[in-house]
């Protein structure tokens, strides 16, 4: 896997109903939650992503790769890979996948520390999980790299 380029990064916590998005700076290693994307269709979701791409001008994407606790893959793993390939296809930017097994638990604990509970927590949980995925990536946790080649 090549070294990740410097610059702005968008990270995604993919879910079928909601997609959490975080933004970060690879050089500084700083991350922050950005948005939770919902929509009735993939077109609506990718339209919202396109607006974020235009605004933030990322150099690459990071996508959380969910697996069972023992590391085996499941249906959401396949869908996350498909989502990452679509990101690459639409925006022609490299995609890094990161093991996200603990990102939601980490996000819940961060929000609990900040005294964010209930509906407020649900509205930001996915974007904070994306932030945790991106932070894990910056700390050396890239699982795989995709740049349009067959896997």
pLDDT over 50 (residue 13): yes
The pTM (predicted TM-score) of the whole model is: 0.83
**DSSP result, 32-79:** EEEEEE--SSHHHHHHHHHHHHHHH--SEEEEEE---TTS---HHHHH
Higher-scoring residue by pLDDT: 148, 85:
85
- Gap between the Cα atoms of 128 and 18, Å rounded: 13
Nearest Cα neighbor of 104 from 120, 119, 122, 118 is: 122
Q: Alpha helices, DSSP H only, in 92-146?
A: 103-113, 118-138
Q: What is the mean pLDDT of residues 16-25?
A: 94
Tens digits of residue pLDDT in 54-98: 999 999 999 998 887 777 778 888 999 999 999 999 999 999 998
What is the per-residue pLDDT across 128-144, written as a single tens digit (0 to 9) for each?
889 989 988 888 755 55
Q: How confident is the model at residue 151 (pLDDT cuts 50, 70, 90)?
A: very low
């Amino acid at each position: 896997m090549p070294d990740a380029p410097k610059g702005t990064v968008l990270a995604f916590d993919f879910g079928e109903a909601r997609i959490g998005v975080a933004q970060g700076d690879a050089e500084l290693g700083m991350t922050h939650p950005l948005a939770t994307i919902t929509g009735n269709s993939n077109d609506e979701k990718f339209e919202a992503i396109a607006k974020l791409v235009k605004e933030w001008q990322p150099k690459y994407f990071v996508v959380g790769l969910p697996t069972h606790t023992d590391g085996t893959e499941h249906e959401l793993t396949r869908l996350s890979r498909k989502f990452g390939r679509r990101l690459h296809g639409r925006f022609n930017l490299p995609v890094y996948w990161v093991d996200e097994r603990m990102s939601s638990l980490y996000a819940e604990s961060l929000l609990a520390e900040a005294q964010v509970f209930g509906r407020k927590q649900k509205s930001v949980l996915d974007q904070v999980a994306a932030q945790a995925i991106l932070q894990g990536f910056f700390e050396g946790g890239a699982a795989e790299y995709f740049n349009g080649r067959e896997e």
